[in-house]
Amino acid sequence: MQSIFDERLWLAWLTKARVIILTFLLGVELAIARFTTSPLPVRFFVNTMLLWYAVAILHILISSFWDDRKAQASLQVLTDFIMVTLVVYATGGGESSLNFLYPLIIIVACILLPRTWAYLMAALAFLLYGTVLELTYFSVIPSYSTTHPSWEGLQAIIFINLFAYLAVAYLASLLSAKLRQVNVKLKSTSGELESLQALHHLIIQSISGGLITTGLDGYVTLSNGAAQLLLESTEQQLWGRPISQLFIDPVPKVEEDSAHGEVRFACASGFRKTFRVMVSSLVTPEHGTIGYVYTLDDLTEIRRLERDLRLQDRLAAVGRLAAAIAHEIRNPLTSIAGSVSMLSEIPELTTEHRQLLEIVTRESDRLNAIITDFLAYSRGKQYHFTKTDIIPLIEDTLTLLEHRMLAEKRAIRIERRFSVQHAWALADGDKLKQVFWNFCENAIRAMRDKGHLTVSLEMSDEDWEINFADTGPGIRPQVVERIFEPFQSEFEGGTGLGLAIVYQIVQAHEGKVWARSKLGEGSVFVLRLRRMDAEVVAPIPKNAGASSRGDLMMLGGHSRG
């Protein structure tokens, strides 16, 4: 807050007010001289006012480069006293109606200058005014008054003005001192208030959880930095928005028995976050409830870990089931297939009988493929982790895919977007090719005969992020949440174990995999693998298995916690 006695502001105001007062006085006096029989010396008066204008302009120019405010104030007050004296003399001396200008200048001096100067200015006004009256009384200079007072009357006028000037100086200086004291207290109180507001702001911004306040109408009035980070928005973007529009699910209400709950939030990137929201009333002693306070905690990672644990439990159960029944089914299935093959060689079979035998053979082959996937899923896999460049693995997969699309005459365009030339990771190249091929196979099935598959690779913090984006019809939200669970295939004839095996491989690489999709806008499968610097890799045994994974991660310089 600026001080009410800021000399710079007062001087700027004085220069402007001076010009306005001069213009007003000039107009009034000229009007009086024009419409009355006033003895006003118009030429002398106008020249005096023009001189005063010139002095005012000079003060304005000086204030632009002279930094000594006290000296400027003293100079302006002194020149104003001189110019007022000339104007009072021109307008009749003791009869002048402009005698009130002296007290105004004394008041200005009390504001801009120390208290002693106020009394000195009052004495100076007395001297100047008395000098003009006595010089005109003794005819030393011409008099423009219409009357000639007696000596006693003249002395009375002079001394009455002396007491008036001193009284104005005393009262104005006293008031100015009081105002200065109030101003000091006001500045101190304002400083304490600003400090309290700064502390309040720091407390709000330092809270690790998200904090949002709204009015009674539900529109956001405040959000801290944590809330802005969680919602991926700026303070300006959140302010004034209904809080109900920020989340996919309805936010809890204070009136409810449980004023807390979980809501989902859709990020601009397509990700969904899960927040725990607690709401309470914002109450003041004077006005009662004036709004609501919402606190946010990010549960996204916790819910993801819970889903992963549930998924791993299901995968383990499926694996145990597959291991238990696969051999029991495969043996009789082999017998059935052999018997059907022998029956098909009987020459007396009719065409209808041969069609039935073909159906049995085809379904036996399909059942055998499912059992093979079961066994591949349930067996403990051996991984050979080496320093691997991911980009050639993707290129090999996409090259094979392009030749297949060409042979099958499908109008599917494949686009590569790699932000780097080499992407080194500690991985099993053959297993990663299986992951990449599975993603591509699902994309081709979804797009059928035409579409656009975009494969991108870029750095994301300490990981490589690989995206397989197709332009297919998309996947339903309830399917996306369970896409990596067994038997979740959306394709005719699929076993539903392909993505479950992909999940196993990614988990073995200590990576992350997820899917994003909107109906009608295609799907994106995202894979993240830990980056590894090419310069810090030790020689790796040729037949390294899963048991050497921990040692290799230490040699590579990274380990996922």
Query: Distance between CA atoms of 444 and 363, rounded to whole angstroms?
Result: 24
Which pLDDT band, with edges at 50, 70 and 90, does 26 fall under? confident
CA-CA distance, 529 to 560, in Å (whole number)?
10
CB neighbour burial string for 444-457, b if at least 16 within 10 angstroms, e if fewer: bbbbeeebbbbbbb
Q: How far apart are CA 267 and CA 504, in angstroms?
A: 28
Would you state the pLDDT for residue 387? 92
Whether the pLDDT of residue 437 is over 50: the answer is yes
Q: What is the DSSP letter of 459?
A: E
More confidently predicted of 446 and 328 = 446
Q: How much of the chain, in percent, has pLDDT values that exceed 90? A: 13
Cβ partners under 8 Å of residue 521, min gap 6: 474
The average pLDDT across 479-508 equals 75
Residue 115 in tokens: 């208290």
* Residue of 321, 334, 432 whose CA lies nearest to 387: 432
Supply φ then ψ for residue 527, to 5 degrees.
-125, 130
Condensed to tens digits (0 to 9), the pLDDT of residues 538-551 reads 333 434 333 333 33
Tell me the backbone φ, ψ of residue 559, rounded to 5 degrees.
-145, 140
Q: For the CA atoms of 225, 226, 227, 230, what is the dihedral angle to 10 degrees?
A: 120
pLDDT tens, position by position, 156-193: 888 888 888 888 888 888 888 888 788 778 877 877 77
* Mean pLDDT across the chain: 80
Alpha-carbon separation of residue 530 from 91, 244, 561 (angstroms): 94, 38, 11
- Asked if 231 and 245 touch (Cβ cutoff 8 Å), the reply is no
For the chain, the first-to-last Cα distance in angstroms comes to 53
Closest CA to 387 of 425, 422, 421: 425
Going from the C-alpha of 321 to that of each of 210, 308, 429, the distances in angstroms are 45, 20, 29
The answer to whether residue 490 scores a pLDDT higher than 70 is no
**Residue 317's CB: how many other CB atoms inside 10 A?**
11
Q: Give 376's pLDDT tier (boundaries 50, 70, 90).
A: low
Cα-to-chain-centroid distance, residue 464? 27
Whole-number Å distance between alpha carbons of 500 and 504: 6
Quickly count: other Cβ atoms within 10 Å of residue 93's Cβ. 23
AA letter at 130: G
Cα angle for residues 116, 120, 122 (degrees, 5° grid): 115
pLDDT for res 179:
80
Could you tell me the sign of the dihedral formed by the alpha carbons of 63, 68, 73, 75, in that order?
negative
**Angle of helix 42-63 versus helix 7-35 axis, rounded to 10:** 170
Q: Which two tokens stand for residue 504?
A: 């196993």
Q: Which two tokens stand for residue 242?
A: 């209904």
Cα separation of 233 and 268, whole Å? 10
Summarised one tens digit per residue, pLDDT across range 208-245 is: 888 999 988 889 988 888 888 888 888 888 998 998 88
pLDDT of residue 541: 40
The per-residue pLDDT for range 319-354, each reduced to its tens digit, is: 666 666 666 676 777 777 777 777 777 877 787 877
- Residue 404's identity, in one-letter code, is R
Q: Taking each helix axis from N to C terminus, what angle separates 101-112 and 69-90, rounded to the nearest 10 degrees?
A: 170
- CA of residue 537 relative to chain centroid, distance: 41
Distances (CA, A) of 378 to 50, 255, 322, 371, 375: 106, 52, 6, 10, 5
What local confidence, expressed as pLDDT, does residue 560 receive? 34
Residue with tokens 């913090």: 461
Closest CA to 247 of 229, 257, 262, 258: 262
The whole-number pLDDT of residue 1 equals 37
Residue 381 is predicted with a pLDDT of: 65
Q: Which of 7-21, 133-147, 369-383 has the lowest mean pLDDT?
A: 369-383
pTM for the whole thing?
A: 0.42
Single out the residue of 361, 329, 367, 334 nearest to residue 345, CA to CA: 361
> Do residues 63 and 15 lie in contact, with contact meaning Cβ atoms separated by under 8 Å?
yes
Taking the alpha carbons of 266, 268, 270, 271 in that order, is the dihedral positive or negative? negative
- Tens of pLDDT along 240-271? 899 888 898 888 888 765 578 888 888 877 77
**427 contacts 465 by C-beta, under 8 angstroms:** no
Is residue 433 pLDDT above 60, yes or no? yes
Q: What is the DSSP string of 283-327?
A: EETTTEEEEEEEEEEE-HHHHHHHHHHHHHHHHHHHHHHHHHHHH
Confidence of residue 469 (pLDDT cuts 50, 70, 90): very high
Type of residue numbered 23: T
What single-letter amino acid sits at 519? Answer: L
Domains, the chain, in order of start with CATH, read: 7-186 (no CATH), 210-298 (3.30.450.20), 303-378 (1.20.58), 386-556 (3.30.565.10)
Backbone angles phi, psi at 299, to 5 degrees: -105, 10
Average pLDDT over residues 441-462: 90
Alpha-carbon distance of 484 to 482, in angstroms, equals 6
SS3 372: helix
Q: Using CA atoms, how far apart are residues 112 and 9, in angstroms rounded to an integer?
A: 11
